[in-house]
Amino acid sequence: MTAALALLALVGGWEALVRLGGVDPLILPAPTQVLDALWEDRSLLAPDLWATTYEVVIGLGAAVLAGAALAVAMHLSPALRRALRPLVIGSQAVPVPVIAPLVILVLGFGLAPKVLLVALVCFFPITINLYDGLRAADPDARRLLRSLQASRWQALRLVEAPAALPNAFTGLKVAAAVAVIGAVFAEWAGAERGLGRALLTANGQLETARAFAATLLLFLLAIALYGACALLERRVVDWTPRTGPGGP
């Protein structure tokens, strides 16, 4: 409710600024003009939206697989933890816009470089949150499993992994929110389709309203992805109370 009001105020202010302040729509189109462009160019933008969604979803999936594997490996092996941690952290210092063209050069214009770059942006929050979650399991439950002579694998499967799920979903939601950035940079470096590509061409043709329309779609895509992850979380992590303290 308050979110809707805040949005309304922002959009209303923006519209008023452009209409009454006489801002050149080439520099800042009014929200209504953006919606117009979105409707006019819908046949142009729909394939772009589809292409970017596809890249982002596949990339996010790859990030989940890679991130989970990394987190579990680092959790189970102190040697791997020492070896991998600097690399995992360092990977976030890699400037994606700079390496994107290199990745495109090596992997071509297809899906692979987009997936790789989305995964590069996304795996870090997944890995770090899951890793922390695996360590945060209840010490009493760990002791219990040890007293039952549980194997390392059983401790992971029965206690640590379920206990880490709430954390893992936090990481996944962060990843979902930033995933589109990776896709946009990848498309800027070279793509036939995609919202990032649409942004670039619209800017080149001084179609500012269409560029804003593409940005709006990116915005909505990020929100939808985040919402899907939050929904999945509520279905999977159904033992923690929604509000208040507690949880494992």
Binding site for other proteins (CB under 8 A): 138, 140-141, 143-150, 154, 158-159, 162, 165, 239-241, 246-248
Environment class of 189 (CB within 10 Å of its CB; exposed 0-12, middle 13-18, buried 19+): buried
Least distance (Å) from other proteins to the CB of residue 137?
A: 9
Q: Which is nearer to other proteins, 15 or 132 (CB)?
A: 132
Least distance (Å) from other proteins to the CB of residue 169?
A: 13
Measured from the Cβ of residue 159, the count of other Cβ atoms closer than 10 Å reads 19
Least distance (Å) from other proteins to the CB of residue 175?
A: 23
The one-letter code for the residue type at 105 is L
Least distance (Å) from other proteins to the CB of residue 241?
A: 7
Least distance (Å) from other proteins to the CB of residue 242?
A: 12
Q: Which is nearer to other proteins, 24 or 140 (CB)?
A: 140
Least distance (Å) from other proteins to the CB of residue 148?
A: 4
Q: Which is nearer to other proteins, 58 or 141 (CB)?
A: 141
Distance between CA atoms of residues 117 and 197, nearest Å:
15
In this structure, are residues 18 and 29 in contact, taking their beta carbons and an 8 Å threshold? yes
Q: Which is nearer to other proteins, 113 or 166 (CB)?
A: 166
Of 172, 227, 218, 169, which Cα lies nearest the Cα of 53? Answer: 218
Q: Is 145 helix (H, G, I), strand (E, B) or coil?
A: helix
Helix/strand/coil (H/E/C) assignment for every residue in 30-89:
CHHHHHHHHHHCHHHHHHHHHHHHHHHHHHHHHHHHHHHHHHHHHHHCHHHHHHHHHHHH
The one-letter code for the residue type at 154 is Q
Q: Which is nearer to other proteins, 141 or 200 (CB)?
A: 141
9 phi and psi, to 5 degrees? -60, -45
Distance between CA atoms of residues 183 and 69, nearest Å:
23
Q: Which is nearer to other proteins, 91 or 151 (CB)?
A: 151
